[in-house]
Amino acid sequence: MQRLNKPEIILALDVDTLEKARYFVEKLYPRIKSFKIGSQLFTAYGPEAVNMVVKKGGRVFLDLKFHDIPKTVHKAVISGSSIGIPMVVSGSAEIGKEAKQAVSLPIFMMTVHIKGGQAMLEEAARGAKEAAEKLKITKPFIVGVTCLTSDDSKKDTLKEVLQAAELAKKSGLDGVVCSALEAAQVRKACGADFIIVTPGIRSSKDALNDQKRTADVKSAVKAGSNFLVIGRPILEANDPIAKTEELLGDL
């Protein structure tokens, strides 16, 4: 497994054009080194969006929440692991020496949906290992989505998240995506090496938008989150650099 450093902010590039995504990557890298590409941007631009981040020197959290029959998810993880690598291997003149080192693993993390079941999760984990061996790269993290942070908290939400996290660990996944409200209990149940990715990060001054189960940076870090996914608080800020510095300071 890749070694985890201190908690890190991932910028969610949830925008509708490649130009907007490029604007934020160029403006905020290397303050932010990791960028989430989800279904909105990837559906419109595919690997081109990943390559844009790679060219700048960043790495990508590919958040496509694979949920299909086990064989299909296995193949999807293998395919996802290879996106962006040709740019690095070819040693494009457009990528500087520092950037080449930074993008040795363009897709460093991917998501699958835990509701796909144990067989699917095991195939996702197997696909990541196969891709790493074949491509001679560090294995990308595979994390399972538990409960969306846009969902209201229910009486059994914590129980459901913990059950999902335990299934993820049993199936060979590296971690889960969950809100900061469950992160401490997930950390306690699954151990220090289990990755926790937390979206829905907001400061008290930020609009909630459609997020229901939110937390600020300090609370998420205290709860044990490794990666904090932040989108609109930065994307919609009057000064994205100042907002990023504020959030980084809270780490």
Find the CATH number of the domain harbouring 182: 3.20.20.70
Residue 241 pLDDT > 50: yes
Contact 64, 85 (CB under 8 A): no
- Report CA dihedral (62, 65, 66, 68) to the nearest 10 degrees: -170
| Cβ neighbours, 10 Å, residue 207 | 10
Number of structural domains (the chain) is: 1
What integer pLDDT is reported at residue 95 of this predicted model?
Answer: 47
In a domain, 23, yes or no: yes
What integer pLDDT is reported at residue 178 of this predicted model?
Answer: 95
In a domain, 2, yes or no: no
240 by DSSP, 3-state: which?
helix
Q: Which of 24-28, 128-132, 172-176, 201-205 has the lowest mean pLDDT?
A: 201-205
% residues pLDDT > 90 (the chain): 76
In a domain, 3, yes or no: no
What integer pLDDT is reported at residue 142 of this predicted model?
Answer: 98
What integer pLDDT is reported at residue 202 of this predicted model?
Answer: 76
Residue 103 pLDDT > 50: no
- Start-end of H helices in the chain: 18-28, 39-45, 47-56, 70-82, 85-90, 97-102, 118-135, 157-170, 180-190, 217-223, 232-235, 240-250
- Give the residue-averaged pLDDT of 137-145: 96
What integer pLDDT is reported at residue 98 of this predicted model?
Answer: 44
CA nearest neighbour of 164 among 177, 179, 146, 181: 146
| Better-scored residue on pLDDT, 241 or 92 | 241
In a domain, 1, yes or no: no
Q: Sorting pLDDT into bands at 50, 70 and 90, what band is 101?
A: very low
Q: Sorting pLDDT into bands at 50, 70 and 90, what band is 152?
A: low
- Give the residue-averaged pLDDT of 185-195: 97
In a domain, 154, yes or no: yes
In a domain, 174, yes or no: yes
What integer pLDDT is reported at residue 213 of this predicted model?
Answer: 55
Domain hosting residue 15, numbered range = 8-250
For the entire predicted model, the pTM comes to 0.89
> Catalytic site residues?
65
CA nearest neighbour of 36 among 201, 231, 247: 231
What integer pLDDT is reported at residue 104 of this predicted model?
Answer: 53
Q: Sorting pLDDT into bands at 50, 70 and 90, what band is 179?
A: very high
Contact 208, 202 (CB under 8 A): yes
Question: What whole-number distance in Å separates Cα of residue 50 and Cα of residue 22?
Answer: 10
108 by DSSP, 3-state: which?
strand
Query: Identity (one letter) of the amino acid at 108?
Result: F
What are the angstrom distances between the C-alpha of 60 and each of 12, 53, 164, 193, 199? 10, 7, 24, 21, 15
17-68 residue pLDDT tens: 999 999 999 999 999 999 999 999 999 999 999 999 999 999 999 999 999 9
Residue 113 pLDDT > 70: yes
In a domain, 116, yes or no: yes
The overall average pLDDT reported for the chain is 88
- Give the residue-averaged pLDDT of 227-233: 96
Residue 243 pLDDT > 70: yes
